[in-house]
A and B are shown apart, each in its own frame.
Chain A
């Protein structure tokens, strides 16, 4: 009869695995507010365009698909979408 030894090898840390699985599953449950989602998305956009930000402190939606963003780094950016669907960003610092 095969007996798994939970006290040795890989299974020695099984409580940690279970805790990790529970925490991961809990994180999958979406709790973020709309404001948090927009800030996170704007940070990804700024990062993708290769500019520093650190964290989006606040933003103003100033037109259709246009945002004025204030970053933790002190930078200010204006993100907009042009008529050809290109996303552009200009620094306001």
Chain B
């Protein structure tokens, strides 16, 4: 009786044609996997706030934006008070969120923040272009600070 020795088993090699076929079959799968794992790099030129006019100095804090809003002549006193109250409400909700006492999710708070900035932008876009440019550029920057626990607590405690 002939038994295959251990060396015989190990010496088995896949035929070259099969290996080539295997690589050819897996190649598109690998390329697709790599492509899907990449972040979306394509930049949509029509996306909201993607074409904000440049400013020399960016606002990085909602409180600074509120202060600049208080000094503009483009907004009436009543509207300033109303917007200030809205800013404080959003900050309060975010504070509760970071303290783990909020009924809102971070996505909901982001939507509320976006609506707040939309309300502010309406009053500035035709009357105070300089401040509106600041607002446009600061829109995402401020949110990144607000959503981050450490940065929020550093700025608002």
Q: Are A41 and B112 in contact (CB under 8 A)?
A: yes
Chain A, range 41-75, C-beta contacts under 8 Å to B: 41-42, 44-45, 48-49, 61, 64-66
Closest approach, in angstroms, between the C-beta of A47 and any C-beta of chain B?
Answer: 10
Closest approach, in angstroms, between the C-beta of A50 and any C-beta of chain B?
Answer: 10
Q: Are A84 and B136 in contact (CB under 8 A)?
A: yes
Q: Are A80 and B89 in contact (CB under 8 A)?
A: no
Q: Are B48 and A65 in contact (CB under 8 A)?
A: yes
Closest approach, in angstroms, between the C-beta of A29 and any C-beta of chain B?
Answer: 11
Task: Tell me which residues across on chain B come within 8 A of A82, comparing CB atoms.
Answer: 48
Majority DSSP secondary structure for residues of A touching B: mixed
Interface string of B117-133 (1 = CB under 8 A from A): 01101110100000011
* A83 CB within 8 Å of chain B: yes
Binds B, one of A2-10, A12-20, A30-38: A30-38
> Which residues of B approach A to under 8 Å, CB–CB?
45-53, 89, 92-93, 104, 108, 111-112, 114-116, 118-119, 121-123, 125, 132-133, 135-136, 139
